[in-house]
Structure 1
């Protein structure tokens, strides 16, 4: 089938190619995966480790092996009866370097290029130095210094006959009509032979042809030694060591279609849409038919030929019209279904979107897609594992130690203001100008100043509650109108009284349906542009403010700081989880379900371990306060520009988050006497720490790194891992890992089982069938040890066998004087995944269209039991799992037979809907008895904290 049963996400790059992926097909097939799900496969910048910086969407990336290797992979997949999903990037292209032919053509021909309208460039900038030009913020130093350094030099390409400016990996072609300004310095003969360059009219239909003819003449001249000498002489005239060379080079640059500038000017002066704030990723206008056709031709061909079965759409909210795009792509793929080869599924092209949903927001049902890539599930199941009673004490601890009394929403608002002020200045200015232009089209609004519009827009953007709205030619729907009203109400709280009326007027200027009859003729088009500018600014502003800023500032509990999550909502109830799953079952039964991705901030098992802290807040508070006192002498006071203010490194917020990360990501097999292991772990944490400090944008940043502060923080971290200085701390951290090991393992198994059996398609991020204690990228993209995974899979041990093995090894380790619980843990997730995916394979209808029936528990443990049935055509499966298990589960991962069960007090019962045949747990083989529609909870979880049981027919 084209709809996946289960996917495995693989990150491709030059060190892990199509052929490498083919080498693990048999493993994933044996595990039960139906489709590989690949990172972008089109040609990206050389050396790209992720593939999202595509420079040529018309070819398969040669670093991955090109199309021949892709075909070999697909042949291997088809032989294993598996399919292929690929990640596509319709929003942007890589434009740094010298590898994007479309972008280079725009640089060469400017607004006359056939591709000029393909990129979202403002050719009519109010800045006179940018009018008709593209800003290129790629210089590593200020413009004048760069010219004088000689790093920017003129070059001649003997193969193409073209002149260009080279700057490290960058290539900036010269406008054809400026060649003469260079070549005249090569002597009379060469200048005369190439004089036709200055006569090229960029508006002429034959401009490119005439330029090619001139370049051919130049190539011929270069074939002789005299000709090459003359060309070299012409180029040298613009070198910094030539008399007047710098001034000459500057005058030449002033005639180009671009303006080179220092990279730090990008935020304030950029005049084209970027991907977020990344200045070497340019937005493309895929809403234009010719752009769509050119950028999707290869993907459509791959689908028609049966090489791929569906797509994952990256950053769908960055597009001008996501709904129209998804519908168009669905129609294009569906039209090709009948042409696919007989051995390729042809029923339904699978389409999912990378979409972040705010708390309480649901995915629109009219997009013609199968769902999201699973961030929403990752958020819901993550919140489910957190004990709500931990929110207040952990928040109090954070506030008292850091002095930070703001809630998460306040942090987001502050971050958005900072980003609008520092990082998205150019994008915000473009939006403000667009709205000001709309105001000028009508009599009643023409006196509104651009400054006033900026003030009001700022508050509206700061208050915006979701990633974006979705305007169409029919206006806004009820959902979007509600979003706008919520944003207006919040913005009113922060506006001065004189601007309140302007806020309502401003919203009217975004209305494309109600335009005054006396408005100027260009009013409709100007309003559409203003709406597009607004809707393409809110997503990057939301993402950068939350995921890439506040997640590194606010650290009440870092397991809630995850992509797609809102830490303001600390936990979810079991009823919330069931409601979420019922929504999926009704509207998106094929949506992806993820608990780990290439973009996660910390591995799924790191989050599972950190969640346990919500159950033991008093002891954690005591430990953190003790560590803070213990390490006072390790902190450093750094001078600042204000002599009356000192900066402590690390600041207390960074220190508290560091303790959480050390605990959360501690490798299960790392002992405190393993010097090399401690150093390797410290180095990984140091890389995370540097990224965290820069993303937070408080004491350091990517734009302005504070090396003194970063190095002081690194020394602090390394001191914590120095046995001679911090043995007590390390021993105590190990004790924390040991103490929470069983509960964190239970959390990991619970979230894995729920992902495998909830409505949707479970996605397995590469390698996470073993414990995933990874940090943020690139740590979460390290090579996967497939040999170890294949070996364990071949042994086909069940979970109980692995636990018994682990128990015996632990006992032997203790007898030898080792630390309990610190030996390598058995990999319990893989057999769980194998078992559940085998069940999905045997009863596919059960999980694609089967009923989802929430179950309710009664008794003391009622709030600890998540359970539901999946039922279809006589097949019934019970999923049951425990949460908040720190005091419930023993070292054998079994429900304790003391505590709640003292004095014969029952743990409670699970209520079943009507009569069910006897159940068999697939994970342990035990029979599960129901008495009058009730299952005893103590008996249900007597062997594991999870149950996956089938009803006997």
Structure 2
């Protein structure tokens, strides 16, 4: 089995290993998933909590249990008819520290390292201090200060016979070309002899074996005599002594790296990062040799049947995602008779679809999360909630404007180096043509910045260096906006950039006339970075023009993608707070709500184009848990009540603000941060938490405080990660703990708990609908670890907390979800829905995964409160019915509309889906339609279908136990 029926995402780390996952197989089996879908299993930096900082692509993490542990897990799963999908990280590796052998080799040998082309390093920096070097921006302070403080040290690693420069956990090898001088500086006869083999060493590859042999002799000497003599060399380079500091500085100046303050990375980093994370370096997986090195373990695990497929992380970071997906598929397919399951992590803008020519099974589910999330929101709430937000914060800017301001700021303050790299690639093209050589770097820089800031999607995907119609649609939107923003004097540069970025093929004839003859890929200049794989296939004729144009295209795309992510998800989402349930990865807060028809249309597209795409409502990267968002969506149904509540709480808690005086506008936390804090508290308040439970409230406050600090820094308004305003942050935390203090029990705490209690039933109803739709829509449902019960988590690391699987296993039984609805606060009804619908998927896998999708017509008094569709495959049929926007329909504490209130509301069933007897998988009740079917009336009344539950899944298939 390779195409999953349903997956459960597991976050592996040293506290939850392969052995821990193996211990839960009985639970996973009983739950009904077909595959475990794991975070990366390759060796990451020591202590990694997520696995995305890969240090070694070739080995399975020993912290997780090693390859033997993974194989034991896979074997046990195979015995149960289950499998594994793993997350792979081809875009970047963890650097810094001491554990990435590829990166250490680059630091040691520079551009002549065997791995110099494995990373996206610009060895031709215009900065003389970085030419031929790698910026190492890991110092906690200015270079001179850290050097004088003795925190940068020369050491000798006896186990490896290497001189290294260390700074905290970071280890930078000294180039062997410097060993002779170092050893001779000790004035020690034996060290002088050991220095001889190092004399005259160069960084050329032919000298690398000679260096290794010389180190072997050095190792032998140390094993026999110890390190006392060599330690003297290190002591002579101590930074705390002026003479030693000068020696160490001069030594460092000769290395293939430049140690620098971490803040320099924004402006000067000369290698591609993962977004703005300077501990993660971009990998040139577009090169054939790098691709094979990165995936060798993956191919072996797949060929051996250990894994059944892969989830590709951060696909938009790659130079050419289409080419990468094609090569990955071509390499995997011959290894097994089965079809490899391949999905990609891709954030799609509203209306954007995954490219068909990638030939993968789909995305990891952000698009579905957005579709179902928008369905839960009442469009009538958009305007009044916006008015409330405007009145509280003093700004009426829509999200699009907030996002644009964030893009401008992030580009200037966080991605300046990436903008510089893209601009220089274009400037290089300009200089090589007589007709464009007078376009200045500054004019191109301004134009590229405006294009990037206005780009409506993450990136474009040209084929063979040319934009297609889809790309042109997005590019032209940015181009038109950039034209309006730029002075007339810069328009010509902008139009030329549009041509170079895939608008037209390079003019090879012009370049030949200018002395730039076509070259083969084999002799392509090393200056060209990030070209697609075609440039690495020997004897394929590629002009220099085509190479540099593709370089520019890739660098521009590798700028717009992180800019979109950083500015939207990690900045604007924390500035704009009309309703935080729409501030989620893959969503646009301005796209507030969607109709049932919109939801059906999205599902039909998915069924047609990506029937095996993942369906997610929670991920390890979500901003807010699925049930938190479902509860906050209720506020769209009662905007006036929420507005009054916000104002009342703001007045009630005013005494707890810091510096809130008539002459101080910078009070803490500030209007926007305070309003978003109240939404967060409403969303994450546990259903069973009593306001008098001091320990429980304190635990909640500590979780929210962690979120608050991250939210304030991500917003980048009064504090940020680069320059934290700790006084402001402390004041905000004090406000939070004050309003949740035990002495507020009869004030804000009770008001908060009472408000949550009023909307919680409608929020629970939204949860049950969202869960049912995820498990019955076209695609492969994914369960994020632990979300089988309530998920009121906040952004990471809160959403990556340990999961109590034992409690979930104990909650499993054979009772139908309807029997658990009266006790909905314990979330067992949610777990029971998951178990029941996964059982249906196991009984008829093709029905819900591949069956046709038929929107059903609903009519009657409450038709607008219903979503209904049918799934049909051969003779098997299922009808899915759910209640929506029901806050005003509920009476009391139950998340259920009274049967009689549905009145004449009914669903029309197509004749080819009609059945004389329906079994409801969620209530174990039978609904007979025989008499109506005989009369030609194929109708199901909601008063019959939704008597016991707010959702129903009717089928002509009956559970084996029934």
TM-score by length of 2: 0.93
Could you give the per-residue CA deviations for residues 704-736 of structure 1, whole angstroms, max 9, x where no partner exists?
110000000000000111131463111111111
Q: Which residues of 2 match residues 848-887 of structure 1 at below 5 A?
A: 848-887=849-888
Given candidates 412, 424, 431, the residue that maps to 1:440 is 431
Any residues of structure 2 matched to 1:708-747 within 5 Å, and which?
A: 708-725=727-744, 727-747=746-766
What is the alpha-carbon distance in structure 2 between the residues aligned to residue 73 and residue 56 of structure 1?
Answer: 21
State whether structure 2 residue 705 is matched by structure 1 residue 668.
Answer: no
Q: Give the equivalent residue in structure 2 for 1:517.
A: 509
Superposition pairs for residues 502-541 of structure 1, below 5 Å? 502-511=493-502, 513-515=505-507, 517-519=509-511, 520=514, 521=516, 522-541=544-563
2:139 corresponds to 1:139: yes
SS in 2 for 1:562: coil
Task: Tell whether 2:814 aligns with 1:775.
Answer: no
Q: Quote the Cα distance in structure 2 between the aligned partners of 1:93 and 1:763.
A: 26
Q: Are positions 1:497 and 2:497 aligned together?
A: no
Contact kept? 2:427, 2:441, Cα under 8 Å: yes
Q: State the alpha-carbon separation in 2 of the partners of residues 228 and 448 from structure 1.
A: 58
For the Cα contact (< 8 Å) 1:59–1:298, is it kept in 2?
yes
For the residue of structure 1 that corresponds to 2:43, the secondary structure is strand
Given that 1:893 and 1:943 are in contact with CA atoms closer than 8 Å, whether structure 2 keeps it comes out as no
Per-residue CA distance 1:551-593 (angstroms, 9 max, x = gap)? 1100000000011111110011111100100011111111000
Which aligned pairs between 1:101-112 and structure 2 lie closer than 5 A? 101-112=101-112
Tell me the equivalent position of 1:22. Answer: 22
Contact 2:765 2:896 in 1 (8 A): no
- Name the residue aligned to 2:291: 292
**Ranges in structure 1 where 5+ consecutive residues have no aligned partner:** 338-345, 808-823
Moved more, 302-311 or 233-242: 233-242
Partner SS for 1:869: strand
1:355-434 matches, within 5 Å, as 355-434=346-425
Written as runs of structure 1 = structure 2, the 5 A alignment for 1:79-478 is 79-196=79-196, 198-202=198-202, 204-225=204-225, 228-242=227-241, 244-337=243-336, 346-473=337-464, 475-478=466-469
Give the Cα separation in 2 of the matches to 1:243 and 1:450: 41
CA-CA distance at 1:927 after TM superposition: 2.6
Show CA shifts across 1:10-62 (max 9, x none). Answer: 00000100000001111111111000001000000000000000000100000
**How far apart are residue 240 of structure 1 and its match?**
2.5
Q: Which residue of 2 aligns with 1:912?
A: 909
| 1: CA distance, partners of 2:80 / 2:779 | 23
Moved more, 193-202 or 448-457: 193-202
Could you tell me which residue of structure 1 aligns to residue 815 of structure 2?
Answer: 797
Do the aligned partners of 1:382 and 1:560 also contact (CA within 8 Å) in 2?
yes
| SS class of match (1:115) | coil
Q: Which residue of 1 aligns with 2:952?
A: 947
**Counterpart position of 2:571:** 549
How far apart, CA to CA, are the structure 1 residues paired with 2:942 and 2:889? 12
Give the conservation status (yes or no) of the 8 Å contact 1:384–1:577.
Answer: yes
Where 2:778 maps in the other structure, the secondary structure is coil
Q: Distance in 1 between matches of 2:194 and 2:685?
A: 67
User: 1:645 deviation in Å?
Assistant: 6.6
Q: Answer whether contact 2:183 2:192 (CA < 8 A) is retained.
A: no
Query: What is the aligned partner in structure 1 of residue 538 from structure 2?
Result: none
Q: Which moved more, 1:373-382 or 1:202-211?
A: 202-211
Q: Aligned in 2, Cα 1:272/1:197: closer, same or farther, shift over 3 Å?
A: farther
- 2: CA distance between counterparts of 1:235 and 1:669? 61
Q: Residues 878, 195 of structure 1: CA spacing in aligned structure 2 closer, same or farther, 3 A cutoff?
A: same
* Alpha-carbon separation, structure 1, partners of 2:51 and 2:165: 26
SS of aligned partner of 1:447 = coil
Specify the SS of the correspondent of 2:354: coil
CA contact (8 A) 2:42 2:61 kept: yes
In structure 2, the residue corresponding to 1:637 is in which secondary structure?
Answer: coil
Contact residue 40 and residue 89 of structure 1 kept, 8 A: yes
Contact 1:187 1:230 in 2 (8 A): no
SS of the counterpart of 2:867?
strand
1:597 pairs, out of 610, 619, 623, with 619
Aligned in 2, Cα 1:701/1:638: closer, same or farther, shift over 3 Å? farther
Is the partner of 2:356 in helix, strand or coil?
A: coil
CA contact (8 A) 2:369 2:615 kept: yes
Give, in whole Å, the separation in 2 of the partners of 1:197 and 1:607.
66
- Residue 864 of structure 1 and its aligned partner are, at CA, apart by 1.4
Matched, 1:788 2:807: yes
- Measure the CA separation in 2 of the matches of 1:80 and 1:580: 34
CA distance in 2, matches of 1:644, 1:131: 52
Distance in 1 (alpha carbons) for counterparts of 2:865 and 2:669: 38
Cα distance in structure 2, aligned partners of 1:952 and 1:431: 58
Query: In the TM superposition, what whole-angstrom CA distance separates every residue of 1:260-310 from its partner, at most 9, and x where no partner exists?
Result: 000011100000000010101000000000001111111000000000000
CA distance in 1 between partners of 2:922 and 2:484 (Å)? 55
1:350-404 Cα deviation digits (max 9, x unpaired): 0000000001101111111000000000000000000000000111111111012
- Alpha-carbon distance in structure 1 between the residues aligned to 2:205 and 2:905: 82
What is the CA–CA distance in structure 2 between the aligned matches of 1:630 and 1:672, rounded to whole Å?
17
Q: Aligned partners of 1:311 and 1:196: how far apart in 2?
A: 51
1:598–1:765 CA contact under 8 A, matched in 2:
yes
Q: Which moved more, 1:309-318 or 1:943-952?
A: 943-952
1:581 aligns with 2:603: yes
Once the 2 structures are TM-superposed, how far is the Cα of residue 797 of structure 1 from its aligned partner? Answer: 2.2
What residue is the counterpart of 1:820 in the other structure? none
Give 1:644 shift: 8.6
Residue 897 (structure 1) shift: 5.0
Measure how far apart 1:517 and its partner are: 2.4
Structure 1 residue 231: deviation in Å?
Answer: 0.7
Q: CA deviation at 1:193?
A: 1.4
Rounded Cα–Cα distance in structure 1 between residues aligned with 2:693 and 2:203 = 70
Kindly state the Cα deviation for residue 800 of structure 1 after the two structures are TM-superposed: 2.2
Tell me the distance in 2 between the aligned counterparts of 1:374 and 1:204: 48
- Between 326-335 and 840-849, the greater mean CA deviation after superposition: 840-849
Alignment coverage as a number of residue pairs = 918
Larger mean Cα displacement after TM superposition, 273-282 or 188-197: 188-197
Partner of residue 521, structure 2:
none
Separation in 2, partners of 1:572, 1:97: 47
Structure 2 distance, partners of 1:256, 1:282, is: 19
With the length of structure 1 as denominator, give the TM-score of the two structures. Answer: 0.94
Alpha-carbon contact 1:864-1:884 (below 8 Å) kept? yes
Equivalent runs, 1:611-630 vs 2, <5 Å: 611-630=633-652
Within 2, Cα distance between the matches of 1:845 and 1:952?
A: 13
- Deviation per CA, 1:751-772: give whole Å up to 9, x if none: 1000000000000000100011
Per-residue CA shift, 1:517-553, capped at 9, x if unaligned? 2234233222121111101111110000011101110
Matched-pair contact (CA < 8 Å) for 2:692–2:745 = no
- For 1:634 and 1:496, the matched residues in 2 are separated by 49
Contact 2:38/2:85 (CA < 8 Å) preserved in 1?
yes
Q: For residue 39 of structure 1, what is the aligned residue in structure 2?
A: 39
Rate the CA distance shift 1:952–1:324 in 2: closer, same or farther, 3 A: closer
Kindly provide the CA deviation profile for residues 394-423 of structure 1, in whole angstroms up to 9, marking residues without a partner as x.
Answer: 111111110122111111111111111110
SS at match of 2:871: strand
Query: Could you tell me how far 1:208 is from its partner in structure 2?
Result: 1.5
Native 8 Å contact 2:109 2:203 kept in 1:
no
SS in 1 for 2:286: coil
